[in-house]
Amino acid sequence: MIDSIAHWDEQLFLFLNQIHASWLDPVMLLITGKYIWIPFYIFLLFLLIREYKKDSIWYILGLILVILLADQFTSGFMKPFFERLRPCHDPRWQGMILNYSGCGGLYGFASSHAANTFGLAAYFQKVGGKKIPNFSWLFLWAAIVSYTRIYLGVHYPGDVLVGALVGILSGWLIYWLISNLKAIWVAHKSKNRISNL
């Protein structure tokens, strides 16, 4: 069963990776980059601070925890544990696939790009709630960034899908944790205020 899934995943990768255009290669490389998104991340932080004022420190802490959890779980645990070669490191695909960006680390399961972007999307959707305009569009952004990894030949679709699931679960888990810690903190402060009266 596992072998069949891996085979389908590889065949889907080969199909998707062949769908490319030379003018799109540098665009995909730009989208997959980390530093290009810094102004975007600053804007998201601005929205948090504007809406939540002093309480935004809780949600910024949560954001840091989401990225740490998603990134470390995929890079620090899953990649060395499963040891699945990135397609660009697999000798079977040499000369067959587009690999415009270089290959990166040896192993690719699961995608940290997908985990981080989907973690951020899931977390912001929860944090935004009814206070900030719907953040569901962040899932489209995360999907586009994640797809660049297949286009550039550094991840299989399965790597991206599992990375996305790790990210979403990380976002939800950290939101739940931060919400509960914040509630406990507020209740503790209220109790102390009442006892000091």
pLDDT in tens, 134-181: 788 899 999 999 999 999 999 999 999 999 999 999 999 999 999 999
pLDDT digits (tens, 9 = 90+) for 54-101: 989 999 999 999 999 999 999 999 999 999 999 999 999 998 998 988
- CA separation, residue 167 to residues 58, 59, 63, 91, 139 (Å): 19, 17, 12, 29, 11
What number is the average pLDDT over the span 3-11? 93
pTM over the 0.85 mark: yes
Query: Which of 81, 154, 49, 166 lies closest to 117 in space, CA to CA?
Result: 166
